[in-house]
Structure 1
Amino acid sequence: MSGPDHAVPDPVSAGFAELGLGPGLQQSVDELGLSTPTPVQAAAIPAALAGGDVLALAQTGSGKTLAFVLPILQQIEDAHRRGPASRAGAGARRPTRALVLAPTRELALQIGEAIRDASACLNAPLRWGCVFGGVSINAQMMGLRGGADVVVATPGRLLDLIDHNALSLDGVQTLVLDEADRLLDKGFEDELKRVLALLPARRQHLLFSATLAPEVEALAEQLLHDPTRIDVRAEAVSVPDIHQRAIQVDAAQRTPLLRHLIQTEGWRQVLVFVATRHACDMVALKLQRHGIRAAAFHADASQTARREVLQAFKAGELQVVVATDLAARGLHVEALPAVVNHDLPRSPDDHLHRIGRTARAGHSGVAVSFVNADNEAHFRLIEKRQGLRVPREQVPGFEMKQTAPTKPQPLRNPLTDPDGTGGIKGKRKSKKDKLREAAAAGGGTGSDPHAA
């Protein structure tokens, strides 16, 4: 894959008006309180408006959603302005001009909210749909009955709707793959192939990813033609004003310490990450028993229940949401002051995505990690990948008593593990990765696709 490395404009000196957006979208971003574009927006919006393919590497919290939503909306408004010949006539089904694929329901909903807010001041009325699994397909079919200019979808539900003749991709002019690394990691290869086969041959591609994993590189090689390449990962990680803290505490005292911090730190709201769905329910229940407005958020809950939790959290009706890594991407809560790693994440990349839920849109925030003798070595690797050292703290009354690991620590082989990364996800191939490679060598996909 070839393409120019895009020189990122200085967002301080360039406003949204200089990026090629019309008055309606400029008014929308003004009403959203956005005065200057982020680096990924400053680079991606003009490139997308020019009609070329874009490969953008950007971390969570970088403003990437508007980086593709705004040019899509501008292109659709321009098409409507050209006259009746460019849009569906009265009573006709409106063709879908842009398709956005997302790996999770939560991310799809966030994109849908961005489309709703950004299109509020457009002259021409916009029809858009957001579809995903876990809820009844009938309501989504009814919502798409008159067609939609933009459709945001998880792959599985998109294909279900196509199978029900509720949606056609014949008119798609722009395809967006948001968080392409996660799309591929979740095993959507088969669905992607089916979707691509249904799209017109001539189309624009906007591919956004947090990492340029081999699978993403291969997909980009396959899809993109002379793309503008944008890499603002360094800027996205360094810009947020996140104060990281590492508190040493025995595993059994983590939840009591969490209660203590909630009561003494003055956190208006806090997002707590745990490792398992069971832990999610248990920690939330223990907080509730002590009068704290808390709820669990994980994949076992119904989509309706998860949506209600997010709405209550964003409205300030909940003080604490205890979540699995399902909430590490695609969840945006305005001015969230704190994130707590009750359990450490599996990988340094997951750590960055978790703590990136705070300190968004120019706000500051704190990210607290609970560290004990068993996970100290793991946290050191997370620190190493970030290039920083977080001072260890102890809170009076919750001092760590366990000083030696209770679990056997793996021995490092200097030949196979020269960097001392051990089993950290993202550095060594997992069993699933090896199975995928073996299947690919034999002509298969190597994994079962997850339902959307």
Structure 2
Amino acid sequence: MSFSSLGLSPALLQAISARGYLTPTPVQTAAIPDILRGGDVLAAAQTGSGKTAAFALPLLQFLQEAPAEKPRRLRVLILVPTRELAQQTAETIRTLAQACPSSLKIAALFGGVSINPQMMDLRGGADLVVATPGRLLDLIEHNALSLSSVASLVLDEADRLLDMGFADEITRILALLPTRRQSLFFSATFPTAVHALAARMLHQPTRIAVPALAQNQPDIEQRAIVVDAGRRTQLLRHLLKENKWGRVLVFVATKYSAEHIADKLHRAGIKAAAFHGEFSQGARDEVLADFKASKLQVLVATDVAARGIDIAQLPVVLNYDLPRSATDYTHRIGRTGRAGKSGIAISFVSADTEAHFRLIEKRHHLKCEREQIAGFEPVDTAAPANVSSATDTVNGGIKGKRKSKKDKLREAAAQDQND
């Protein structure tokens, strides 16, 4: 099937061609015609499957067909969980909109930066807004925009919106929207809470679930390397040297670990930086720009980087710490193997995280052979006696119990000796 068969305008077909899109992905083929008809959609598809274009293209066509108004009235609202996803989505839509005959005003609204420039940007209205819920409500309270004219609402990464505690904000936003509107849900996963929200919001939606067939899955080689927890940094340095990877995204559990490991790598002569949610927006943008430009070889990040960050041709993702949930594993490894490229996803597995990794394998119908690297064979072979089940073991600790600052300092001191 071709994009021209989906009912898109010549201008958008030109934009698609300029972006290098050859044929629609399964989620685009299924969703675009229904969105063009104005129906509600509930779509589940894996990360990197083209979800953004699936809703952006038909909504841009809708905006082109609507009569021009001054001041502009907000017609399309897209809610996303993170700053990075807001910026990335808005940039993708702006690029696609460049070929449209009439200009559209697209605004990205997110916290972590001063609200004043965003208020200025909204003067004269906007046609389409991509926003995080908290900042959107702040701007509404400042009378910078109104939701009374919104005709289409998109919840992108709806599961993450709820995971990050935005349920109350979403409820407040829904109360400000017109009752008659188009509502679209797009996400890689749909847990119970998202289904409940969808049932409340959507009217006879088209349900789209792209099967996890081999031809639809990103080309990601998934590997598991067993190593003692105290030797992970040494092994990471060894792998970087042996494989000569140009860029590696390393996931850790905490901002403390991100800063500590990035510092260790930097002192070893490796261009590395930390990335976590407590960075200012300016610092986030600078670090990401350096990583995308290959000025950094290693980005050590918390799960704030697991969604919404699209780094072209990222060859390797490495789970230094295992993700807390099986769902987060999907989003982490989905940073590689994007846009038809291949990638490698490596997980470090130690004695006390083996049970948790088996749980991840079970949830994803996955089986990774355990590898050992010469010189880094594990000494610890049994989980601690106080760990009773797979659900207890997460990132080397017991679920629900956070390590104290003293414990972290002791671990860091021990790792310094090992490294």
- Structure-1-length-normalised TM-score: 0.84
In the alignment, is residue 212 of structure 1 matched against residue 190 of structure 2? yes
Q: For structure 1, which runs of at least 5 residues remain unmatched after alignment? A: 1-13, 80-85, 412-420, 432-452
Q: For structure 2, which runs of at least 5 residues remain unmatched after alignment? A: 401-419
Tell me the equivalent position of 2:172.
194
Q: Is the 8 A contact 1:272 1:323 kept in 2?
A: yes
CA distance in 1 between partners of 2:231 and 2:211 (Å): 36
In the alignment, is residue 274 of structure 1 matched against residue 252 of structure 2? yes
CA distance in 1 between partners of 2:325 and 2:234 (Å): 25
In the alignment, is residue 115 of structure 1 matched against residue 115 of structure 2? no
Shift of 1:378: 1.3
In the alignment, is residue 155 of structure 1 matched against residue 133 of structure 2? yes
Structure 1, residues 51-79: CA drift from partner, whole Å, max 9, x if none? 11111112211111111111111111122
Change (3 A) 1:134 1:45: same
Tell me the equivalent position of 1:63.
50
1:254 pairs, out of 210, 232, 238, with 232
1:245 aligns to what SS in structure 2?
Answer: strand
Q: Is the 8 A contact 2:189 2:327 kept in 1?
A: no
Q: Which amino acid aligns with 2:40?
A: D
In the alignment, is residue 125 of structure 1 matched against residue 106 of structure 2? no
CA distance in 2 between partners of 1:238 and 1:391 (Å): 23
Change (3 A) 1:65 1:22: same
Shift of 1:236: 8.8
Tell me the equivalent position of 1:93.
71
Q: Is the 8 A contact 1:280 1:297 kept in 2?
A: yes
Tell me the equivalent position of 1:422.
391
Q: Is the 8 A contact 1:60 1:236 kept in 2?
A: no
1:361 aligns to what SS in structure 2?
Answer: coil
Q: Is the 8 A contact 1:241 1:359 kept in 2?
A: yes
2:86 aligns to what SS in structure 1?
Answer: helix
2:135 aligns to what SS in structure 1?
Answer: helix
CA distance in 2 between partners of 1:59 and 1:325 (Å): 17
Tell me the equivalent position of 1:72.
59
Q: CA RMSD in A?
A: 1.8
| Counterparts of residues 22-421 of structure 1 (less than 5 Å) | 22-79=9-66, 86-88=67-69, 92-232=70-210, 234-235=212-213, 239-406=217-384, 408-410=386-388
Tell me the equivalent position of 2:408.
none
2:8 pairs, out of 11, 15, 21, with 21
2:199 aligns to what SS in structure 1?
Answer: helix
CA distance in 2 between partners of 1:39 and 1:229 (Å): 13
Change (3 A) 1:104 1:424: farther
Change (3 A) 1:237 1:153: farther
Q: Could you tell me the percent identity over the aligned residues?
A: 59
Q: Is the 8 A contact 1:58 1:64 kept in 2?
A: yes
Where do 4+ consecutive residues of structure 1 move more than 4 Å?
235-238
Shift of 1:424: 7.7
Q: Is the 8 A contact 1:40 1:230 kept in 2?
A: yes
Shift of 1:28: 1.3
CA distance in 1 between partners of 2:140 and 2:198 (Å): 25
Shift of 1:315: 2.0
Change (3 A) 1:303 1:235: farther
Structure 1, residues 239-284: CA drift from partner, whole Å, max 9, x if none? 1111111111111111111111111112111100001110000111
1:167 aligns to what SS in structure 2?
Answer: coil
- Structure-2-length-normalised TM-score: 0.91
CA distance in 2 between partners of 1:297 and 1:231 (Å): 33
Shift of 1:94: 0.7
Shift of 1:325: 0.9
Shift of 1:216: 1.4
Structure 1, residues 351-410: CA drift from partner, whole Å, max 9, x if none? 111111110111111111111111111111111222222111111222212222246221
Structure 1, residues 91-110: CA drift from partner, whole Å, max 9, x if none? x3211110001111111111
Q: Is the 8 A contact 2:248 2:314 kept in 1?
A: yes
Aligned length: 396
Q: Which amino acid aligns with 1:260?
A: H
Q: Which amino acid aligns with 2:357?
A: F
Q: Is the 8 A contact 1:346 1:424 kept in 2?
A: no
Change (3 A) 1:424 1:72: farther
Structure 1, residues 280-324: CA drift from partner, whole Å, max 9, x if none? 001111111122111111011111111111122122222111101
Q: Which amino acid aligns with 2:10?
A: P
Structure 1, residues 104-157: CA drift from partner, whole Å, max 9, x if none? 111111111211221121111110100011110000001111211100001111
Tell me the equivalent position of 1:439.
none
Q: Is the 8 A contact 1:246 1:390 kept in 2?
A: yes
